[in-house]
């Protein structure tokens, strides 16, 4: 892996993992258009760990509060941990039972372009929605989990975008919707790293220690920035503005695919 490949992969992974624009879709487009692809499972695991670290930096204290409160039997924390567990199940089933099929999910750029456009409409559907609830309830948690599972198998459908959208539809406060989505990302990203890590051959010399380290740092820094940026937009009620970007990248992706046959 060259240094510029490490920079590009780290930046794309860090930004698109958390912004509502689909990391899997962007990485596929990047691979086709530029020829840059993740060079081996070990690099994929490294990038996942970097983005997981970013979530833990921002939401680690809240996670400790939830787990500690649940252990002590505090009702509010027990309820939230239970809701997160419910929301984790659909993606866990898809990832655990259909891991290889998920990896081979539709890679057609036309399909991905259409999915980008759908993500745009999901973003736009949140315009004017600002609830006051602090947790999504049982039905809401199940809906958020289902949205996450769909995003896991459809490249171009954003995980963070779809889960935040469903959270807002259920009447969650925008900040609470972001918190639930990002806390939910912890077992999902961690699980993906474990599944990939089983097949990772640790050969840093072959990948390149410097490009790998740079990729990790950039993915981590970009992940931190994108989480905070997204939360700031949610606070201002401007989450829907990502729709324009998704529509544009969707149309460009389809046009590129059709032009190049």
Closest CA to 112 of 250, 12, 217: 250
CA distances from 64 to 126, 138, 167, 227 (A): 30, 22, 22, 19
- The DSSP output letter for 172 is B
Tens digit of each residue's pLDDT, the chain (261 residues) = 788 888 998 999 999 989 999 988 998 898 888 887 766 667 777 888 899 999 999 999 999 999 999 999 899 999 999 999 999 998 777 766 665 555 555 678 999 999 999 999 999 999 988 788 988 999 999 999 999 988 888 889 999 999 999 999 999 999 999 999 999 989 888 877 776 666 555 556 667 778 888 999 999 999 999 999 999 999 998 999 999 999 999 999 999 999 986
Q: Which two tokens stand for residue 67?
A: 């787990």
Of 21, 256, 237, 1, which Cα lies nearest the Cα of 129? Answer: 237
Domain containing 241 equals 3-259
pTM: 0.88
The residues that bridge with 172 in the sheet, in sequence order, are 133
Number of structural domains in the chain? 1
C-alpha 255: how far from chain center:
25
């Amino acid at each position: 892996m060259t240094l510029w490949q490490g920079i590009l992969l780290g930046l794309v992974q860090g930004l698109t993992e958390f912004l509502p624009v689909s990391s899997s879709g962007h990485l596929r487009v990047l691979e086709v258009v530029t020829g840059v692809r993740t060079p081996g499972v070990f690099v994929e695991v490294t990038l996942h760990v970097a983005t997981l670290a970013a979530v833990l930096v921002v939401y680690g204290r809240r996670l400790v509060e939830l787990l500690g409160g649940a252990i002590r039997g505090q009702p509010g924390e027990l309820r939230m941990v239970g809701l997160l567990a419910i929301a984790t199940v659909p993606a866990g089933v898809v990832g655990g039972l259909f891991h290889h099929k998920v990896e081979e999910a539709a890679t057609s750029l036309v399909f991905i372009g259409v999915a980008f456009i759908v993500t745009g409409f999901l973003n736009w559907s949140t315009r004017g929605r600002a609830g006051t609830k602090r947790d999504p309830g049982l039905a809401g948690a199940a809906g958020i989990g289902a949205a996450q599972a769909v995003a896991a198998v459809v490249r171009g459908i954003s995980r963070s975008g779809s889960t935040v959208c469903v959270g807002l539809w259920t009447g969650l406060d925008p900040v609470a919707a972001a918190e639930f989505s990002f806390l939910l990302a912890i077992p999902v990203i961690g699980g993906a790293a474990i599944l990939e890590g089983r097949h990772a051959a640790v050969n840093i010399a072959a990948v390149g220690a410097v490009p790998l380290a740079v990729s990790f740092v950039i993915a981590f820094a970009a992940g931190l920035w994108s989480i905070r940026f997204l939360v700031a937009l949610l606070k201002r009620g401007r989450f829907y503005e990502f729709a324009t970007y998704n529509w544009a990248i969707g149309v460009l992706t389809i046009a590129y695919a059709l032009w190049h046959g």
